[in-house]
Chains A and B, each alone.
Chain A
Amino acid sequence: MPQGETALKKIKDKFNDSILAVVTFRNETQALVKKKDLYPIMQFLRDEQELFFNCLVNLTAVDRLELSDTHRFEMVYHLHSYRTNDRICIKTPVDENDLTVKSMTSLWKTANWQEREVYDLYGITFEDHPDMRRILLWEGYDGYPLRKDYPLRGRGEREKFNEYLDNIKR
């Protein structure tokens, strides 16, 4: 039985219309759910006694510009239950016009910095996040590097570095 199968069944029983797509690949279960139902589903996964996904392993985003999909970004959450040794992946589409997702910090404290990193590199903001600011890049940085339309070699910072040095406030 692939990982996450029991959890998926329970989510289907309770939140049937929230699930947009399910993929089972290489023994993993990945479920795409509607953004407005994301927080209730996550809370259910964490608190339900037989599931008890007490660890948020990985929180990240994918820019689906070149995979020509209906939505631009996708938030990806990998959950792990230490009690049942089960893993599941929950994804939710984030449209370019509405780049906000509810924060998971109140459920798992590790989401704090991982969401800051997603904000820093993709520009997706999180509601109810206690400290929404950039983490890896400096404050006042303009742009979101991991998006697909941000060039790999940068935007000419290397060529214009001396000008930049002269202009920054000291």
Chain B
Amino acid sequence: MSTLTTSSDKYSCSERLDDGRMIVNIGPQHPATHGTLRLLLELDGEYIVKCTPELGYLHSGFEKLGESMSYGQYMSVTDRMNYLSPLSNNIAYAEAVEKLLDIQVTERCKYIRVILAELSRIFDHLLNLGTQGIDLGAFTPFLWLFEEREKINSLFEMMTGHRFTTSFVRIGGMAADLPEGFDAEVKKFLGHFPKEIDNFEKMLTRNRIWMDRTKGVGVISQEDAVSYGLSGPNLRCTGFEWDIRKEDPYDCYDHFDFDIPVGANGDVYDRYLLRVEEMRQSVRIVLQALDNLPSGPVDLDNAKVRLPSKDNVYNRMESLIHHFKLIMDGHGLQPPKDREIYHCIESPNGELGFYIVSDGTGKPYRVRTRPPSFIHYQVVPMMIEGRLISDMVAVLSSLNLIAGELDR
């Protein structure tokens, strides 16, 4: 419809058309949209006739920034993309650069990355399930899940020093090794966490109101899901079994024994159940990784890639020179000239990929994030047109759209 564009000069929040339909603007500041998302809805009573999503309210030019920062500096920018699971983004970027440089990190580093990635997955799903609940009116499970998130925040703080945007992964290793007592704390948390998931499920899974509001809502077929490029839980809820951790294992995921939950109907209820089950599987993976954690160094011993330890820098000439050559402007990493790679991981949201073009200098020529949220936001009109406004809220929260990753 030509009336439904944003180039209208009227900034009122709703407009009545001649045949009784209304155009309602939802967002960009709105508690039900997760982040700065905007929807223009054309309503016939309470039924949505047409929907136009708008984005870009959080666009910060991350890709342009990447062209002026060195590879190591860009790590802290990747935190800010999917800010609910920052460690996953760090891991994806570090692995992409390691693929470009053709280096392999140590076994211990891979296991630690798996532990942190799975804890981030639990972290992300806890928030998403809590907000799915609160958007539809269930306040209590939201607070219970946030209590669990606080415990994971303390674990991250113990490990990295930050609760939130951690920037902990480095190219060629990690910023530091696991602190003492970390695995005991994690096991203590994981000891009672499955019971907390059970308590949470008692509130919602067989709840009559929850099932009425989420079953059959926001359905997407398998062909549409594949054509629209969905990935992660949004693809698996349609019955399509695809998880990069199983099909194309990176970071020694093939050493662990875990299952991939797959939905059946492709609706909001299936996405909810899938995320709950994924949290349980993540607990399994972390326990296995902690039990089998290999010893050894976390960082690579390659001075062209990873900074030498401070002790060496202060006492040995060659370490000082290596430190200089990695940090100073004009030097830095030396990837091959005019080569590009694409590397993706299974982030909690779906397939998060980095496409990096290098020109031989220490700054990337082009860094592109393949953002799952951006691609998932495209299916929102298809899912909600013809349905009620209250279904729009359920669908938006179930897709796990994160504005930082959407807009970059």
Contact = CB atoms under 8 A, between A and B. Distances in A.
Nearest to B229: A110
Contacts of B355: 58, 60, 76, 78
A57 B344 contact: yes
Given A26-B100, A108-B227, A146 B64 contact: yes
A82 B226 contact: yes
B31 interface: no
Interface string A64-84: 001100000000101000100
A30 interface: yes
Contacts of B365: 62, 66-67
Interface residues of B, number: 45
Contact-residue size bin, chain A (C-beta under 8 Å from the other chain)? 35 or more
A165 interface: no
B357 interface: yes
B59 interface: yes
A112 interface: yes
B224 interface: yes
Contacts of B341: 25-26, 28
B6 interface: yes
Interface in B331-366: 336, 338-342, 344, 351, 353, 355, 357, 359, 365-366
Contacts of A137: 56, 59
A58 B228 contact: no
B177 interface: no
A94 interface: no
A57 B366 contact: no
A66 B360 CA distance: 12
A58 B359 contact: no
Contacts of A121: 63
A91 to B, nearest CB: 9
A161 interface: no
B45 to A, nearest CB: 27
A137 B168 CA distance: 32
A55 B353 CA distance: 14
Contacts of B242: 82
Contact of A113 (B224, B336, B375): B375
Contact of A56 (B229, B340, B353, B374): B229
12 contacts: A23-B339, A55-B226, A57-B370, A58-B355, A58-B368, A87-B342, A108-B229, A114-B374, A114-B375, A135-B55, A135-B56, A152-B64
Interface of B: 6-7, 9, 55-56, 59, 61, 63-65, 67-68, 99-100, 102, 224, 226-229, 240, 242, 247-248, 336, 338-342, 344, 351, 353, 355, 357, 359, 365-366, 368, 370, 374-375, 377-378, 407
